[in-house]
């Protein structure tokens, strides 16, 4: 169990050490469970800085990818109601082989996400401690 955002990020940093460009990380869990918190931990480890997420970020944001560190693509599919919307968003580009791709709400677009290399499930909300499972799928 992890009982603080900092502890969630520390688990994410442990996972980041195993990630390679082209890896897809599906981050599942209910509203407010801490998925974005986890992805920020990945970003901190991969980029060396804690990115302040863009206030305009809706579906996709790309971090880093310069000076030799791998890029991190952060995709959030929460607002996808109809898979037909996906075609217009060009999200396939987020699965570039030079990037690690982390996706919140992957279950909203299974065809886009395909079979991820890693599956993270965050369970819990509010003030509760979270249970986080990390699974490698190949
Ligand atoms: N392990 C933890 N223990 C306690 N609180 C946490 C933990 N991880 C994250 N939180 C807190 O939970 C809240 C929601 O976090 P976050 O935005 O990362 O969730 P989310 O799953 O991305 O939400 P959404 O479903 O809206 O995308 C934040 O206030 C965050 O600080
Ligand atoms: Mg989120």
- Domain 5-136 in CATH 3.20.20.140? The answer is no
Q: Which residue has the tokens 């688990």?
A: 11
User: Over the stretch 109-134, which tens digit does the pLDDT of each residue have?
Assistant: 998 999 999 999 999 999 999 999 99
pTM over the 0.85 mark: yes
Q: Is 7 in the pocket of ligand 1 (CB under 6 A)?
A: yes
68 C-alpha vs ligand 2 centroid, how far in Å? 27
- Ligand 1 atom with minimal separation from the 104 CA: 27
- Ligand 1 atom with minimal separation from the 8 CA: 1
Other C-beta atoms lying within 10 Å of the C-beta of residue 5: 15
Q: Is 44 in the pocket of ligand 1 (CB under 6 A)?
A: no
Integer Cα distance of 16 and 45 in angstroms: 6
The least confident of 29-33, 87-91, 119-123, 132-136 is 87-91
Segment 25-42 mean pLDDT: 96
Q: Please give the pLDDT value at position 43.
A: 94
């Amino acid at each position: 169990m992890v009982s603080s955002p900092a502890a969630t990020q520390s688990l994410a940093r442990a996972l980041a050490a195993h990630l390679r460009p082209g890896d897809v990380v599906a981050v599942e869990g209910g509203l407010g469970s801490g998925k974005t918190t986890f992805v920020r931990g990945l970003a901190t480890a991969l980029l060396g800085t804690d990115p302040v997420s863009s206030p305009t970020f809706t579906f996709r944001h790309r971090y880093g990818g310069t000076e030799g560190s791998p890029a991190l693509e952060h995709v959030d599919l929460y607002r996808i109601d109809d898979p037909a919307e996906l075609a217009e968003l060009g999200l396939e580009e987020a699965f570039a082989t030079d990037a690690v791709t982390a996706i919140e709400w992957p279950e909203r677009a299974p065809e886009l996400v395909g079979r991820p290399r890693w599956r993270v499930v965050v369970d819990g909300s509010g003030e509760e401690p979270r249970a986080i499972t990390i699974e490698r799928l190949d």
